[in-house]
A = this chain, B = another copy of it.
Amino acid sequence: MGAIHGTAKSVTSPLDDRPRVRNAAVTREAILAAAWRRFLNESYDNVGLRDVAGDAGVDVALVSRYFGGKEGLFRAVLSHGKEEKFDGLTDAGALAARLAAMATEQAPDEDGHNMERLLIILRSASSPVASSIVRSAFSADVLEPLAALIGGEGAQQRASMAMAVMMGTAIMRSIMAVETVCEGACRHDVARRIERLVKVALEEDKPSY
């Protein structure tokens, strides 16, 4: 039966049945927002254009028309509002704390966007058509900036290690549904542990051993 798509039930807030004003930019954004939410919760293959269109309250044809097909839509989602916020963090410790905070926050606040994008990347990493897009986006938008930020020997490798920790925790929490992060108090413990992990991953050289 092929890929089973998500429930047709709208994930968005109760979409207005009022006839949408004809504005290409607004419609495009609506589609993009709906696609973002879909790709965040399901893999590339399991996101149907009809689901996205339904959430956005538009016809299926518009999706292909505006984004040139499913692949274009996915590409647009990954390219949507990408700004790295690790600007001023030159200190390795502060950077680690920042990453740990990103990994443990569950309410998709402001910065949740970056983590959400990481999750989107993760979800569709094993879909043949999406994998190439995902890999290049991950390398260009995440890995290389991080490697450039931290300097030193083997920056690329250390950055990869840190992202491995991030990816791993993300998988555990959001995909494997393992409740590593319990409520309240112990959550802080987990955050500290992740922080230590990231720090070790970023360490320039094996110091004491």
Contacts and interface: CB of A to CB of B under 8 A. Distances in A.
A160 B180 contact: yes
Q: Classify the secondary structure of A's interface with B.
A: helix
Contact of A165 (B143, B164, B182): B164
B180 A172 contact: no
Interface string A52-66: 000000000000000
Given A128-B42, A193-B201, A163 B157 contact: no
A80 interface: no
B139 A178 contact: yes
A168 B175 contact: no
Contacts of A154: 186, 189
Contacts of A165: 164-165, 168, 197
**Number of copies of this chain in the oligomer?**
2
Contact of A164 (B124, B126, B171, B200): B171
Contact of A46 (B127, B169, B186, B206): B127
A98 B98 CA distance: 30
Interface stretch (A1-9, A16-24, A83-91, A108-116): A1-9
Q: Which of A122, A163, A178 has the most CB of B within 10 A?
A: A178
A59 to B, nearest CB: 19
20 contacts: A2-B2, A2-B45, A3-B3, A3-B45, A46-B127, A46-B128, A131-B175, A135-B177, A139-B178, A154-B189, A157-B190, A160-B172, A161-B190, A161-B193, A163-B168, A164-B169, A164-B172, A165-B165, A166-B168, A196-B206
